[in-house]
Amino acid sequence: MGNIIKTLDVTDSLTGLKDVCDLENGRIAGKIFYDQAIYEQELEKVFARCWLFVAHESQIPNTGDYITTTMGEDEVIVIRQKSGGIKVFLNACPHRGNKVCFAESGSTRGFICNYHGWSFNVEGNLVGQHESGVYEDSNFDKSKWGLKEVAKVDSYKGLVFATFDPEAPTLKEYLGPIAWYMDALFDNQEGGTEFVGGCIRSTYECNWKIAAENFVGDILHAGWTHDSAARAMLGGAVAKVSDFEESYSVNWNGHGYEFALDTVGNVAVLGESALNKYLHTIKPSVAERLGDFRSNMIGSVSSCTIFPNFSFLPGQNTVRVWQPRGPNKMELFTWVVVNKSAPEEVKEKWRKGAMMTFSPTGVFEMDDGENWEYCTKTAKGRVTAQQDLFVGLGMDSLLTETPLPGNVYEGQLNEANSRAFYQYWYDMLNSRSWSEVPNRNVGKPEAE
């Protein structure tokens, strides 16, 4: 099969990673945010291997609808097939490697390379070239020179993921029990969710991990970092997370979901009472669909990262990918997700509310960016980069008797998810194949 991406040789893992990533002792070091050699290992052993979010199904409803994005730094086209399925191709012509699709989204019957006129259909097959006769004279086998297709594509509740690695576990195995928690946002109503049109892209001078970790389990920063935004939007401080009677940090395979059960703590910061009201209105039906427990999570104080770089906030309904662009540069792709069945005016308030809070102009995000950039930039200093950074909150907070699925830790103000995120990252960088990745999961793999 000439159209499947060639598997690359695995390079040796770096030595000395333990010095900058020692989670048993709750320590990392800034070098992991600034080092070029580490970054190159990440592109190979994380981004060319893990399941990566590439699209929401609602973005490409009809045959030939496509979006372009990146998997790591590899440019890809995500396109709906006649069969209803979705294919993901490298956005590079197999002749000289030129980009074949320059648009970010649209609808097409195929792609034609601007360089030598190689033409591909929706299925990615090469169907023609400029001066096609000369290829025939060279016994050219067209069937072997289609667009290169990624190893696997699968979706979960409308979220489309892809992986370059044929040996990757299934998406279901990869997400594990975190999928059960994701339903609180992505499957709380009949009909599921859709993305609002468009994608806001912005550029950070920071390492992608610091942002991904912020969503995997760092609600601790919110009360301090976002004080100004909360006062602007609500006229008062952010809810004091330590006051919540019940909250959790749950992780699995490096993914993490931290949450309270206050139903509307996140949505409230959008300052639109109609959205609080909407969530309260649908809550009984969510309880019927997902049970009481998860009906408390539909817009609660919570956040999630699916390893490595896909994150979302229930309530604010912002969905994002932290795209790596070098050890100290990141592009942020931001979307807004809404329930398909929600009234139009509710969708509209979410479109604007997410923009107002968590986007490059959002009053909350405004105070995140500088923190993330300087967590990265201080590691430019050779000495600073090697110093221990504390990531040790909640070392003994694992809950062993809980009915909840996943590795469940008590409380949101806890760095258990951050440790699990960096541990999985460390394990990936130290593994030559998926079979070498140690299984550190200790909780229930499925909901009871």
Partner 1 sequence: MTALYDELRPVSAEQHYRITHFLNYEYRLLDDERFDDWLALMHEDIHYWMPGIENRRRENLLEHGFYAADHMAFFDDRLRDLGRRVARFQQPSAWAENPATRNVHQLTNVEVYYGETDGEFIVYSTFQSVRSRGLDEEYVIYGRRQDLIVADGDRFKIKKRLILIPNATLTCKNINTFL
Active-site positions read: 116, 218, 221, 226, 368
Residue 102 lies near partner 1 (rule: CB under 8 A) = yes
Residue 335 lies near partner 1 (rule: CB under 8 A) = yes
Stretch that binds partner 1, among 171-179, 220-228, 304-312, 389-397 (CB under 8 A): 220-228
Which sign does the torsion angle of CA 165, 171, 176, 178 carry? positive
Least separation, in Å, of the C-beta of 377 and partner 1?
10
CA-CA distance, 95 to 79, in Å (whole number)? 21
**Nearer to partner 1 among residue 48 and residue 229 (C-beta):** 229
- Exposed/middle/buried for residue 76 (C-beta within 10 Å: 0-12, 13-18, 19+): buried
Residue 114 lies near partner 1 (rule: CB under 8 A) = no
Tell which positions 261-300 bind partner 1, by CB under 8 A: 271
Q: Give the C-alpha distances (Å, rounded to integers) separating 44 from 162, 165, 423, 430.
A: 15, 10, 17, 11
CA-CA distance, 161 to 181, in Å (whole number)? 17
Q: Write the DSSP assignment of 409-448 as a string of letters.
A: EE-SS-SHHHHHHHHHHHHHHT-SSGGGS-----SBSS--
- Using CB under 8 A, which of 228, 242, 273, 386 touches partner 1? 228
Residue 104 lies near partner 1 (rule: CB under 8 A) = yes
Stretch that binds partner 1, among 2-10, 36-44, 47-55, 192-200 (CB under 8 A): 192-200
Stretch that binds partner 1, among 26-34, 173-181, 227-235, 379-387 (CB under 8 A): 227-235
Residue 4 lies near partner 1 (rule: CB under 8 A) = no
Least separation, in Å, of the C-beta of 8 and partner 1?
28
SS3 content of the chain, % helix, strand, coil (to 5): 35, 25, 40
Residue 232 lies near partner 1 (rule: CB under 8 A) = yes
What is the Cα 11 distance to its own chain's centre?
A: 25
Residue 196 lies near partner 1 (rule: CB under 8 A) = yes
**Cα distance from N-terminal residue to C-terminal residue, the chain:** 42
Residue 202 lies near partner 1 (rule: CB under 8 A) = yes
Residue 321 lies near partner 1 (rule: CB under 8 A) = no
Least separation, in Å, of the C-beta of 199 and partner 1?
7
Residue 198 lies near partner 1 (rule: CB under 8 A) = yes
C-beta of residue 120 within 8 angstroms of C-beta of residue 133: no
Rg, Å, the chain Cα set: 22
Residue 212 lies near partner 1 (rule: CB under 8 A) = no
Q: Which residues face 398 on adjacent strands?
A: 409
Phi-psi region of 62 (alpha: psi -120 to 50; beta: other; left: phi over 0): beta
Residue 75 lies near partner 1 (rule: CB under 8 A) = no
**Residue entry with tokens 């932290």:** 322
Tell which positions 339-368 bind partner 1, by CB under 8 A: 348, 351-352, 355-356, 359-361, 363, 365-367
Token duo for residue 185? 């946002």
Query: Using CB under 8 A as the criterion, what x/- string covers residues 142-181 for binding partner 1?
Result: ----------------------------------------
| Chain residues in the site for partner 1 (CB under 8 A) | 102-108, 196-205, 225, 227-229, 231-233, 271, 331-332, 334-336, 348, 351-352, 355-356, 359-361, 363, 365-367, 369-371, 373
